[in-house]
């Protein structure tokens, strides 16, 4: 450095001392970019001597080049021009350095020199890289998680939602919904309740909460059942800094549970029906013979000429009632599958049309609209036409009864080619079946209709016939708007004839 006449020797001494005592290696550069001095730390750090650097150009020292760098990138040019600090970081021999260039002004405020301090930022850089790595890992873990994750600040403002959460809650910061606050994630008041539980050490451990089943709302306001775990994130001083929650949609689990319950119910139902079937068959067979006797002898008596009118009338009641019993016995035998079956390959739509023809003109259907949506394709089943007519007639009569004379009955057929199933749905606009009756409607003699008007055998016969056809029948939907019964039949698939058979046929 050049000496300055304005400073005493003593001042110059301690100014040099200060320069040498700086903990960062520092170099002073003239505006022409030649190096005019360096402090002790610089010589020690880079193991250089005065001769190695004084009078050399900065690009020799800093960039180890023989030619000046592009003046636009040159930090010294920048400092000279802007009169403020400029810095850059560079990797130099396995070390990261931050080189800060600052102006040294003369009395007139012009930049007389530029001082460059070099800081070893290798450790900071490595920590920074580690942090970036950890951050990236956390973000990758979060975004690849199968659970929905939401993090919010202390005020409940949502800071982060992973893609599963965005999907679960709907359009995040995008559509009309705009979920920005945790209160929007729950039914009213629930967010506060969750925070209260989180802070309560009696529930779980402090700051942690697991709720196996709870309700959240998506941006459309729809409620969704989830399993949830939440936590308060504390900073180093133990202060609450954020909250986070992980949600798992229970939709699939609930579906499986429902399916399981349904299957269990079906199983119990079919076991019950099987034993009732045996009972019905036993009773029907036992009653059938004496009943035939009653009918035979009563009819014989009726033919006698010497009977007075009163006795004849009484006898005709006996015959009438015995015939009713006979019909019930017949129904029981159908239900218990003790009657002959005559199966053929038939188009289900044709059976539907045929059955409707049989009932259409009955008084019961006068104010009833019958609509058919019969799939326009071949839907073959192996069935006893007469028995299936009975099924459809029973179901439409029940539908008409449920509508008390006026309403709409819709018959709908379709198929599931993949699973080789053919479906028939019968839907009415009646008053529905009360929940407590659902498990009883297929039982023989169960009826909610007037005593003497109905036998309560209709659905049990239907059940027996459908079982006989390898199908199932169930109530698909019921409520105040009506009831839908669905019958599922195995689809008849003709065996494909191989080329050998074709040749033979020719
Ligand atoms: N479509 C329907 N809507 C409402 N309830 C129905 C329907 N079908 C059947 N049910 C109920 O199931 C019971 C049993 O039906 P079913 O076995 O045909 O006997 P029944 O018609 O002689 O009463 C009916 O009494 C009624 O309570
Ligand atoms: Mg009935």
Of residues 8 and 423, more confidently modeled: 423
- Delineate the domains of the chain, giving CATH numbers in brackets: 9-126 (3.30.450.20), 145-249 (3.30.450.20), 252-339 (1.10.287), 340-506 (3.30.565.10)
Tens-place pLDDT, residues 249-299: 998 888 899 888 888 887 887 787 778 778 888 888 888 889 999 999 999
Q: How far apart are CA 284 and CA 464, in angstroms?
A: 15
Task: Check whether 129 has a pLDDT greater than 90.
Answer: no
Among the bound ligands, the one closest to the CA of 462:
1
- What pLDDT, in 10s, does the model give residues 217-235? 988 889 999 999 999 999 8
* Average pLDDT of the residues in 434-442: 93
DSSP state of 34: B
Ligand 1 binding pocket includes 459 (Cβ within 6 Å): yes
Of the candidates 274, 277, 385, the one whose C-alpha atom is nearest the C-alpha of residue 335 is 277
Residue 137, pLDDT score: 86
Average pLDDT value over all residues in the chain:
87
The reported pLDDT for the residue numbered 62 is 78
DSSP symbols for 50-118: HHHHTTSBHHHHHS--SSPPPTTT-HHHHHHHH-S-EEEEEEETTEEEEEEEEEEE-TTS-EEEEEEEE
pLDDT top residue among 278 and 213: 213
Ligand 1 center–CA 324 separation, angstroms: 20
> Which residues lie below 8 Å from residue 177, measured CB to CB, with a gap of 6+?
169, 170, 171, 184, 218, 219, 220
Residues 143-158: b if buried by 16+ CB within 10 A, e if exposed: eeeebbbbbbeeebeb
**Rounded distance from Cα 398 to ligand 1 centre (Å):** 5
pLDDT for the residue numbered 171: 61
Nearest residue CA, atom 23 of ligand 1? 447
Position 5 scores a pLDDT of 61
Decide: 449 in ligand 1 pocket, CB within 6 A: yes
Mutate to test the pocket of ligand 1, among 394, 398, 437 (most ligand atoms within 8 A of CB): 398
- H or E element in which residue 348 lies: helix 348-360
Q: Is 111 in the pocket of ligand 1 (CB under 6 A)?
A: no
Q: In which band, very low, low, confident or very high, does the pLDDT at 349 lie, cut at 50, 70 and 90?
A: very high
Instruction: Give residue-wise pLDDT tens across range 170-205.
Output: 865 544 557 889 999 999 999 999 998 988 888 777
- Helical (H) or strand (E) element with 282: helix 251-302
402 in ligand 1 pocket by Cβ < 6 Å? Answer: yes
Confidence of residue 444 (pLDDT cuts 50, 70, 90): confident
pTM value is 0.52
Give 102 Cα–ligand 2 centroid separation in angstroms.
Answer: 99
- Rounded Cα gap, residues 270 and 268, in angstroms: 6
**Nearest CA owner, ligand 1 atom 24:** 447
Confidence band for 506, pLDDT divided at 50, 70 and 90: very low
Q: Report whether residue 430 contacts ligand 1, using a CB cutoff of 6 Å.
A: yes
**Of 97-106, 195-204, 292-301, 366-375, where does mean pLDDT reach its minimum?**
195-204
Please report the pLDDT score of residue 4 as a whole number: 55
170: region left, alpha or beta (phi > 0 left; psi from -120 to 50 alpha): left
By the 8 A CB rule, do 424 and 487 touch?
A: yes
How much is the pLDDT for 179? Answer: 81
Q: What share of the chain is helix, strand, coil (3-state, %, to 5)?
A: 40, 25, 30
Q: Is the Cβ–Cβ distance between 124 and 143 less than 8 Å?
A: no
3-state DSSP assignment of residue 479: strand
Q: What confidence score (pLDDT) does residue 315 get?
A: 92
User: According to the model, what pLDDT value does residue 243 have?
Assistant: 93
Tell whether ligand 1 has an atom less than 6 A from the beta carbon of residue 428: yes
Where does 449-506 show beta strands of DSSP type E? 472-479, 482-490
pLDDT at residue 500 above 50? no
Of the listed ranges 1-5, 150-154, 402-406, the one predicted with least confidence: 1-5
Measured from the CA of 457, which atom of ligand 1 is nearest?
17
State whether the beta carbon of 31 lies less than 6 angstroms from ligand 1.
no
394 vs 67: which has the higher pLDDT = 394
If we measure between CA atoms, which residue out of 347, 410, 349, 424 comes closest to residue 382? 347
Q: What distances in angstroms separate CA 469 from CA 2, 51, 339, 354, 464, one per listed residue?
A: 112, 107, 13, 19, 9
What's the rounded Cα separation, in Å, for the pair 288 and 454?
21
- Confidence (pLDDT) at 288: 87
For residue 459, the ligand closest to its alpha carbon is 1
- Map 306-346 to HEC letters: CCCHHHHHHHHHHHHHHHHHHHHHHHHHHHCCCCCCCCEEE
Q: Determine the Cα–Cα distance for residues 323 and 302; give it in Å rounded to an integer.
A: 14
194 ligand 1 Cβ < 6 A: no
Strand, helix or coil for residue 129: helix
pLDDT given at position 67? 82
> Does position 83 have pLDDT exceeding 60, yes or no?
yes
For residue 496, pLDDT beyond 80: no
What residues does 289 pair with on adjacent strands?
none
Q: What is the number of the ligand 1 atom nearest to the C-alpha of 482?
A: 3
| Closest CA relative to residue 407, chosen from 448, 447, 365, 373 | 365
Ligand 1 atom 12, closest CA: 441
Q: Ligand 1 atom 9: the closest Cα is on which residue?
A: 398
């Amino acid at each position: 450095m050049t000496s300055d006449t304005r400073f005493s020797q003593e001042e110059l001494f301690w100014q040099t001392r200060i320069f040498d005592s700086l903990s960062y290696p520092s170099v002073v550069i003239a505006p022409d970019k030649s190096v005019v001095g360096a402090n002790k730390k610089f010589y020690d750090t880079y193991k250089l001597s005065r001769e190695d650097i004084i009078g050399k150009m900065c690009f020799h020292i800093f960039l180890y080049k023989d030619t000046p760098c592009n003046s636009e990138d040159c930090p010294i040019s920048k400092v000279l021009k802007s009169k403020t600090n400029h810095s850059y970081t560079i990797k130099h021999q396995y070390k990261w350095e931050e080189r800060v260039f600052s102006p040294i002004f003369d009395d007139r405020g012009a930049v007389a020199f530029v001082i460059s301090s070099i800081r070893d930022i290798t450790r900071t850089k490595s920590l920074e890289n580690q942090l970036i790595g950890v951050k990236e890992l956390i973000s990758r873990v979060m975004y690849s998680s199968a659970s929905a994750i939401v993090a919010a600040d202390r005020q409940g403002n949502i800071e982060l939602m992973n893609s599963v959460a965005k999907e679960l809650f709907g359009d995040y910061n995008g559509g009309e919904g705009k979920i920005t606050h945790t209160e929007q994630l729950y039914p009213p008041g629930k967010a506060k309740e969750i925070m209260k539980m989180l802070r309560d050490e009696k529930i779980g451990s402090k700051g942690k909460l697991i709720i196996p089943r709870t309700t959240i709302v998506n941006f459309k306001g729809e409620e969704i059942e989830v399993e949830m775990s939440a936590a308060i994130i504390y900073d180093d001083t133990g202060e609450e800094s954020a909250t986070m929650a992980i949600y798992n949609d229970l939709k699939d689990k609930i579906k499986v549970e429902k399916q399981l319950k349904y299957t269990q119910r079906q199983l119990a139902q079919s076991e019950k029906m099987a034993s009732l079937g045996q009972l019905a068959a036993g009773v029907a067979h036992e009653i059938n013979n004496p009943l035939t006797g009653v009918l035979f002898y009563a009819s014989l008596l009726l033919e006698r000429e010497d009977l007075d009118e009163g006795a004849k009338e009484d006898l005709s009641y006996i015959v009438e009632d015995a015939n009713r019993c006979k019909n019930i016995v017949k129904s029981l035998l159908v239900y218990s599958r003790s009657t002959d079956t005559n199966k053929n390959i038939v188009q289900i739509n044709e059976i539907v049309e045929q059955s409707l023809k049989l009932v259409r003109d009955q008084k019961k259907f006068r104010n009833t609209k019958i609509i058919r949506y019969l799939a326009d394709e071949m839907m073959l089943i192996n069935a006893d036409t007469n028995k299936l007519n009975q099924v459809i007639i029973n179901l439409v009569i029940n539908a008409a009864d449920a509508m008390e004379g006026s309403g709409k009955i819709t018959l709908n057929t379709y198929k599931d080619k993949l699973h080789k199933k053919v479906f028939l749905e019968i839907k009415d606009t009646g008053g529905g079946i009360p929940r407590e009756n659902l498990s009883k409607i297929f039982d023989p003699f169960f009826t909610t209709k007037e005593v003497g008007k109905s036998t309560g055998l209709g659905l049990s016969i239907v059940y027996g016939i459908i079982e006989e056809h390898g199908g199932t029948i169930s109530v698909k939907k019921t409520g105040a708007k009506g009831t839908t019964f669905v019958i599922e039949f195995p689809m008849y698939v003709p065996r494909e004839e191989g080329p050998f058979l074709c040749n033979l046929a020719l």
